[in-house]
Each structure stands twice: as C-alpha cells, then as structure tokens.
Copies of this chain bind each other. A is one copy, B any other.
Amino acid sequence: MKSAADRFAWALTYCQKVRLRVTPARELVLNQLAVHCNPLSFEALIAAEPLRDRCDAATVYRTLMLLKDAEIIRQIGLPQKTSYFVLNSPDTICQYLICRRCGSISELALGRAVQRLAQTKAASRGFSATYLELEVYGFCPECQKRMNLGSPFRNRHS
C-alpha cells in the first residue's frame, strides 16, 4: 500500500494521461480520496473540510462522475443507499469489513489469491477488464456491546 502522496500523484498523472484538466476542485476531490483509503460517500466528500468551503456539491458530483468515467476512481456499492468512491490506483484492493449496524468500514485484506481466482473465473466467462470488490458484513465489537446493553442505537429502520 503506497502513501497518500503516492496515490495522489498517481491520480494527477492519470488525469494528464487522459487529458483531463486538473482544476482546484478536482485536486481537492482526488486528494481527499488519496488520503482516505477507505471508500468515501458523496456526503462525506462534500462535508470534508477543505472541500466544503471551496466547492459546490454539484461540482463535486460532476467531478466524481468524470473521474469515474475516466476510471480514475471507482464507485462501489454498499447497502446504505449513498454511493461510495475510492481511488482506483493500481494498488487498490477493494476488500472491506463493514458493520451492518453502525456502518463503519475498514479494510480487510484477504490477499491477492482471491483477486487472481476471480479474474480467472471471470475471464473464462468472457468478461474483460475485471476487478474485484469484496465486503464482509458483520457486527463490530462496539455494536455487539451496545446490543448486549440493549442500547436504543439504530443505524436505520426498526
């Protein structure tokens, strides 16, 4: 796993490669994603400190769509309805451990073997340019405690 600076640099280089202007807004978004390795929601992005004051939500939105189409970032799917985004740098492994109660996300590296297996199987079905996304859902230690105490805490619903 490279440093945030490396990841940011990679992103800028990639932008140039695909001839995408690096505007202040885009720099801010890319930097935010480079710093946080974990997926960030649209909401989290527009609320993040340096971005909040300097960019309109619409701009961030359009930036994300642009970056996604250029495959500089990846939009990942989580059951919470908002979209999440991660930088798509070569070292990115989208394998996460997610709490189904509080929604916290952390990395969970299961290794490259899974990656390779997936690649191979997908290729045998004629799929190209594949990438893996893997999530393990469960109850995090904190939420288990909260549940035992019968806390009224709820993420969503019931």
* Number of interface residues, chain A, beta carbon within 8 A: 44
- The answer to whether B127 touches A121 (Cβ under 8 A) is no
Q: 8 Å CB contacts to B: which residues of A127-156?
A: 127-141, 144
Please give, as numbers and ranges, the residues of chain B lying within 8 Å of A127 by CB-CB distance: 97, 99, 136, 138-141
A24 in the interface, Cβ–Cβ < 8 Å?
A: no
Taking a contact as CB atoms under 8 Å apart, the answer to whether A79 and B79 are in contact is no
Q: Which residues of B are found within 8 Å of A78, using beta-carbon distances?
A: 77
Where chain A touches its partner, the secondary structure class is: mixed
Q: Is A125 an interface residue (CB 8 A)?
A: yes
Whether A65 contacts B136 by the Cβ 8 Å rule is: no
Interface residues of A (CB under 8 A from B): 65-66, 68-69, 75-81, 83, 97, 99-100, 106, 108, 110, 114, 117-119, 121-122, 125-141, 144, 157-158
Having A122-B138, A130-B136, one finds 19 other A-B pairs with CB under 8 Å, namely A68-B157, A77-B80, A79-B83, A97-B121, A106-B125, A108-B121, A108-B122, A110-B114, A110-B117, A110-B121, A114-B114, A119-B136, A122-B136, A126-B141, A129-B138, A129-B139, A132-B136, A132-B137, A134-B134
